Amino acid sequence: MLDHIELSEKQREVVEQLANSRSKEYRLVQRARMIIELGSGANHKEVARRSKSNRHTVRLWKRRWLEASERLKDAEQEGVEQRLLGKMIEDILSDEYRSGTPPTFTPEQIVQIVAISCEKPVDSGRPISHWTPRELAEEAIKREIVKSISTRSAGRFLK
């Protein structure tokens, strides 16, 4: 694998379009600019300073580009359309999927809690005229829809 970025004419054209775009996400534009600079021979420190980033970030995107460079080269040799090449390059410069924390409540639980909020509190033995987040949370726990729920979460469902 190469240790420096070499951009073909088509790649440079697509990356420059992305770098000059006013409609693409800012982070994609910044990453495209990094690739152009690295492809022109700039070092990590220079690119980081000009992009107001850090060397680790520049190295990350350089590594991601180099890992994909063979795929890009193969696609070009196969005569891929400019539009598809652009999509490939955007995918390379996009964030990888991060799963995050799993949801606390299932969709079924949320629907059941919202259904409670549509009932009259008096029908549940509550001496109030409208559901409050605290009352809704207590009722959801009482009906064993959830083991626990914060007042804040119940309040979000009321909205």
Q: pLDDT per residue over 60-100, tens digit each?
A: 999 999 999 999 999 999 998 989 999 999 999 999 888 88
CA distance 40 to 135: 63
pLDDT bin (cut points 50, 70, 90) of residue 2 is low
Reference 121, options 133, 111, 112, 131; nearest CA is: 131
The answer to whether 89 touches 11, Cβ cutoff 8 Å, is: yes
The answer to whether 39 touches 6, Cβ cutoff 8 Å, is: yes
Query: For the stretch 23-53, what's the b/e string if a residue is b when 16 or more beta carbons lie within 10 angstroms of its beta carbon?
Result: eeeeebbbbbbbbbbbbeebebeebbeebeb
CA distances from 63 to 1, 2, 18, 89 (A): 10, 10, 19, 14
pLDDT score, position 3: 73
